[in-house]
A and B are shown apart, each in its own frame.
Chain A
Amino acid sequence: MTDLLAARAQMGTSLAFHIIFSVLGVGLPLLLCVAEGFALRNKDAVLMALTRRWTKAFAVLFAIGAVSGTVISFELGLLWPTYTKYSGAIIGIPFALEGFAFFLEAIFLGLYLYGWNRLTPRVHWLCSFPVWISGAASAWFIVSANSWMNTPTGFEIHNGQVTNINPFQAMLNPSTPYETTHMILACYVVTGFAVAAVYAVAMLRGKRGEYYRRGLLLGMAMGAIAIPLQIFSGDLNARFLVDAQPAKLAAMEGVIHTERGAPLRIGGLVDPTTGEVKYALEIPNGLSILAKGDPNATIKGLDSMPRDDWPNVALVHPSFDGMVGSGFYMLFIGLVFWVVYFWRKRVVPENRVLLWGVVLTGPLSFLALELGWMVTELGRQPWVIYNFLRTKDAVTTAPGLNYSFLGFSALYVVLAVTLIILLLRLAREPLPKMEWSEVNQEQMSEAEEKGGEK
């Protein structure tokens, strides 16, 4: 591999790995907060048992998220020293603010995880608030920095020198409201459907009982509330790109030639040399309507831009369609699930087909998340800072990038395998007796155990 490709591969792998834990780090604490709140109010043993089980899973997930996030903060410099040299003064501040948000999240998580027996139940529950609030805040800060790479503002360049820097303006660049909303909602979508999928699997394997039904309901509630908002936010994002990043939009929609009354192409293989999109389902004038609200509007194609500035359309278009398709699938399942639930007068559906449908939302929500980042990141290429700095000019001169990439990839594989084994083992642990006193007792012995090797 060339150094550039190795560096991009390492950065991409690190981000793809880290994002899984960061979305759960934002989404799960909100679920914990809700579940524990209701458990305390109603002295609900089932909800408390769920809360405690989730807490254990979250503890492991958060730790992996924390260390994999550290990798990324170092990689900014290790892989892209030219990028950091120019951008630090402009866009470093949201990273610093994210640091504070992460501080608060780690502090209150420490209290939450290890404080069951030291804090009163109410104080313990209150500790979950700073965790989910600062989780969402850190997502906002870090994504605002990514937004800046897409629509860089807050500086000027005169004779090759960066001047007139305005960091707050850079943080509040035009993409920020769109991207941050989309990412924070994504956290709730993924967490909701992932949790629902876990309990749907359990029910398909014959597990029955309030514990599984409540787990499924809570997950489906979070996912089904977030997904329509997410699709709406996605639409706003795409329309924003029409003017902000026409190359990205063209790559997403597979538009090579500038067209009036452009069709919406769903799926298909894009051939960038001929400009053809084979095997696509075309909705006439669809794209012009969606993007500009006018069936005859003109959509800029990639051919209106220099060939050097094209993103990899053969990857971006299918990634985009995969994300949108997964999103609509989740919307559909969420809708069916809740309609059936209320139709049957609040009985949790146990239909096997529907449960299988719910199971599928779990992996698809993660897929949509990863594909969405592929669209954002690959769609910005060949730029690292859109229209200012090319990725190839930002890469490090340090040797051995191939080995570095291989090393980190191997590390992630080991961590992922161990994590999966641990989580499966956790899921198989016998449930406590669903009585308030029993459930409360459970944690007492565990807190003692957590010390380490016995």
Chain B
Amino acid sequence: MILTYTVLGVLWLALIAYAALGGADFGGGIWDLLATGPLAERQRRLVGQALGPVWETNHVWLIFLIVGLFVAFPLAFSVLSTALFLPFTLALIGIVLRGSAFTFRAYAAQAVGTRKVWGRVFSSASTITPFLLGTCAAAVASGEIHVVGGSVQTLIWTGWTTPFALTIGAVALALCATLAAIYLTIEARAINDTELTEAFRLRAIVAGAITAVLGALGILLSPFEAPLLWNGMLAHAIPVVILTMLVGLGAAASLLRRRYRLARVLVVIETGCFFAAWGVSQLPYLIPPHVTVENSVSPAITLEEFLICVAAGMILLLPSLWFLFHVFKGRNPVPLIEEK
């Protein structure tokens, strides 16, 4: 029991890390797509510089999440892959295009045409992918994925094309955009670009407000479209939901007061609370209404060895992550040598 929930907690933290870090990278692409006006090129450039050193690392959280699910909840992985075959496949194509396009664009050097085309691919894929992943999450939460006698009973459109799922897809999109805008505010300030700082501050506030409205809409839809989630939330997740809202308000307030670093911390906590609220509402189901945490979990020995590996891996991973973010994103990022 404790073992199972420890592993589940580890995976949920990985999900939050992917949302807060990888999600922001998608958000960067969204702002690239929406960049217009005289600031557009500077915006795009800032997004590119912000993502460059870290996007591949941030992307690995997704892989960790997938393989973690494969190790610890193989039945859930198998059911999800079958039920959500189409949106997963499309999201996967989006992931491939986003990553390759970003790199192609960055290394296309003087080839302006190539750079433009792949720049568009990068920004479109960055927008479509989180939306699709959001609809997949909603399909899980809505309890539409039925498993009878070991076989998945869904059609190819089931679950992820409902109004609720589309709303949650939009929430995911707005959340990515909010995260990215807040991080980019700090990146812009670090290069002393006041115009860009203000531009992203405004975008962060707007995107944050849209996230809140869409999130509320999702909650309003859930009694009809995701009753298990709704009842679970009423039963044991109300405090976390309230906490999410309060932290979100805090993030908005700190943006208004131009306390960007505080806003960054708060929006990460808000993202964490948001996913925690979803997880807690859904318990004891992993994929309602048939796959529960208990009936899909691997045997204890697998979980134990997995945790040993995770602990050993983290000993190497955490200091390395710290070093990466310290060099490129810290309070005093290591300056360019020529500036020293």
Interface residues, chain A, with chain B CB atoms under 8 Å away: 56, 59-60, 62-64, 66-71, 73-74, 76-78, 81-82, 84-90, 92-93, 95-100, 102-104, 106-111, 113-115, 117-120, 130, 165-168, 396-400, 404, 407-408, 411, 415, 418-419, 421-422, 425-426, 429, 444, 447, 449-454
Contacts and interface: CB of A to CB of B under 8 A. Distances in A.
Contacts of A168: 305
Closest 10 pairs (CB-CB, A-B): A452-B48, A88-B74, A92-B71, A77-B81, A100-B313, A89-B298, A398-B85, A63-B103, A114-B53, A67-B99
B44 A452 contact: yes
Interface stretch (B201-209, B262-270, B276-284, B314-322): B314-322
Contacts of B118: 418
A411 B96 contact: yes
A73 B81 contact: no
B108 A399 contact: no
Given A107-B324, A117-B338, A92 B70 contact: yes
A63 to B, nearest CB: 4
Interface stretch (B86-94, B215-223, B226-234): B86-94
A106 B52 CA distance: 11
B340 to A, nearest CB: 10
B67 interface: yes
B327 A119 contact: yes
A444 to B, nearest CB: 6
Interface string B57-77: 101101110111011111101
A259 B310 CA distance: 50
B47 interface: yes
A71 B97 CA distance: 11
A59 B104 CA distance: 10
Interface of B: 32, 41, 44-49, 52-54, 56-57, 59-60, 62-64, 66-68, 70-75, 77-82, 85-86, 88-89, 92-93, 95-100, 102-109, 111, 114-116, 118-119, 151-152, 156, 298-299, 301-302, 305-306, 309-310, 313, 316-317, 320-321, 323-324, 327-328, 333-338
11 contacts: A59-B106, A66-B99, A78-B81, A78-B92, A81-B77, A96-B67, A96-B310, A118-B327, A407-B93, A450-B107, A452-B44
Contact of B67 (A62, A99, A165, A422): A99
B52 A450 contact: yes
Nearest to A418: B104
B100 A67 contact: yes
A97 B317 contact: no
B85 A78 contact: yes
Given A93-B71, A130-B320, A398-B156, A71 B64 contact: no
A429 B109 contact: yes
A84 B70 contact: yes
Contact of B71 (A70, A88, A418, A447): A88
A108 B316 CA distance: 12
Given A96-B310, A104-B320, 19 more contacts: A62-B56, A67-B99, A70-B59, A70-B62, A74-B88, A82-B78, A92-B71, A92-B72, A92-B302, A97-B313, A108-B320, A110-B52, A118-B337, A166-B301, A167-B301, A167-B306, A451-B52, A453-B105, A453-B115
Nearest to B97: A411
Contacts of B301: 165-167
B103 A103 contact: no
B321 A107 contact: yes
Nearest to B312: A100
Contacts of A66: 56, 59, 99
A117 B156 contact: no
A166 B305 CA distance: 9
B89 A84 contact: no
B315 to A, nearest CB: 10
Question: Counting chain A CB atoms within 10 Å of each CB, which of B56, B89, B336 scores highest?
Answer: B56
A117 B336 contact: yes
B24 to A, nearest CB: 15
A421 B86 CA distance: 31
A139 to B, nearest CB: 15
A70 B316 contact: no
B86 A110 contact: no
Contacts of B302: 89-90, 92-93, 165, 167
A96 B106 CA distance: 30
Contact of B74 (A84, A399, A449, A452): A84
A442 B38 CA distance: 30
A110 B324 contact: yes
B307 to A, nearest CB: 10
A114 B317 contact: no
Contacts of B323: 107, 111
Contacts of A96: 64, 67-68, 71, 306, 309-310, 313
A3 to B, nearest CB: 12
Contacts of B328: 110, 114, 118
